[in-house]
Amino acid sequence: MDQKDRQIITALQENGRLTNQELSEKVNLTPSPCLRRLRSLEETAVIKGYTAIVDEIAYGLPITAFVRIRLERHNEESVRLFERKVQDTDSILDCYMMTGGSDYLLRVLVESLEDYEQFVRSRLHVIDGIAAIETSFAYGTVKRASRFPRVHDRIRS
């Protein structure tokens, strides 16, 4: 991936609805090579898809919870079971494997505190092998970026 590919990605992260003509003008390429590069980025799964960024509150999911999970055991079966349950749970938007005191960090969206309680009781407590659940609630957002930071191309010798 070179700087031109990164320019294409940055432009699409700013506005994923750009036409190829608009994109090519933004990154200073003619339309044909721009489209070839874009298709290559899509085919190699550098660009994994396109989506709309939706306001959680306007959508009706005003509560964001960050849930730290610690597993009792770290064997293959316990990990696979937990990760499969996470994949099958719509309320969990993101799940990260972590270092430190927690094994996983989940980002969960719910309608209310009562819904969060129900989520914990019906979705998390039923998963075998969870040793601890700790929750923090976000009461505001300071920054939420959809654009990656700039990466400097390294000079290769």
Residue 5 has pLDDT above 90, yes or no: yes
Residue 151 has pLDDT above 90, yes or no: no
pLDDT tens across 105-145, in order?
999 999 999 999 999 999 999 999 999 999 999 999 999 99
Tokens of 156: 């290769």
pLDDT tens across 82-107, in order?
999 999 999 999 999 999 999 999 99
16 within domain boundaries: yes
144 within domain boundaries: no
Rounded distance, CA 61 to CA 89, Å?
15
**70 and 122 assigned to the same domain:** yes
Domain count along the chain: 2
Per-residue model confidence (pLDDT) at position 154: 60
For 109, the domain range is 57-138
**100 and 30 assigned to the same domain:** no
Rounded distance, CA 115 to CA 90, Å?
13
Name, in order, each residue with C-beta under 8 angstroms of 80's C-beta and a sequence gap of 6 or more.
none
Mean pLDDT, rounded, of the chain: 94
**29 and 87 assigned to the same domain:** no
Tokens of 123: 């979705």
**94 and 128 assigned to the same domain:** yes
Residue 70 · residue 102 · CB < 8 Å: yes
- 146 confidence band (pLDDT: 50, 70, 90): confident
Per-residue model confidence (pLDDT) at position 156: 54
> Residue length, the chain?
157
**37 and 62 assigned to the same domain:** no
Per-residue model confidence (pLDDT) at position 29: 97
Q: Enter the pTM of the model.
A: 0.86
Mean per-residue pLDDT for 8-34?
A: 96
**37 and 66 assigned to the same domain:** no
Rounded distance, CA 9 to CA 16, Å?
9
Mean per-residue pLDDT for 15-28?
A: 96
- 157 confidence band (pLDDT: 50, 70, 90): very low
Q: Please give the single-letter amino acid code of residue 107.
A: R
155 within domain boundaries: no
Tokens of 102: 């927690």
119 within domain boundaries: yes
Residue 35 has pLDDT above 90, yes or no: yes
Helix 31-43 crosses helix 3-14 at what angle (to 10 degrees)? 80
Per-residue model confidence (pLDDT) at position 118: 97
Per-residue model confidence (pLDDT) at position 150: 84
